[in-house]
Amino acid sequence: MSAKQPKPGVSSGANAATAPEASADEENLTVFVQNLLQQMQSRFQQMSDTIVSRIDEMGGRIDDLERSIGDLMAQAGIADDREHAAAVGDARPATTTPKS
């Protein structure tokens, strides 16, 4: 007795049943990966927005601090030589001297 051999190009019933399952699995995996990437992008955007917001807040605090220091220096009668040095192009570090 000879066993029946499947003809080339014709799939058996078992292979035909797994092809749609494999296609569905690939589609499910694709959808999963796309959703995962979207979630990661959303989280990254939220983190970026938070970082930029904190940098802006820090910039505002630095500006406030510089104004406060300037006010204190004015009250103490101390001149800021950095402004004069920048105006004349002097690259030496600024030193503060009390006004007489």
- The answer, yes or no, to whether residue 61 has pLDDT greater than 60, is yes
- Check whether 54 has a pLDDT greater than 80: yes
- CA distances (Å), 8 to each of 62, 68, 81, in order? 77, 87, 91
Q: Average pLDDT, whole number, for the chain? A: 79
Question: Model confidence over 26-52: pLDDT tens digits?
Answer: 999 999 999 999 999 999 999 999 999
pTM: 0.50
- What is the 3-state secondary structure of the chain? CCCCCCCCCCCCHHHHHHHHHHHHHHHHHHHHHHHHHHHHHHHHHHHHHHHHHHHHHHHHHHHHHHHHHHHHHHHHCECCHHHHHHHHCCCCCCCCCECC
Residue 6: pLDDT above 80? no
Q: Is residue 83 pLDDT above 70, yes or no?
A: no
What is the structure's pLDDT at 21? 82
Give the pLDDT band of residue 22 (cuts 50, 70, 90): confident
| pLDDT at site 85 | 56
Question: pLDDT-based confidence at 63, cuts 50/70/90?
Answer: very high
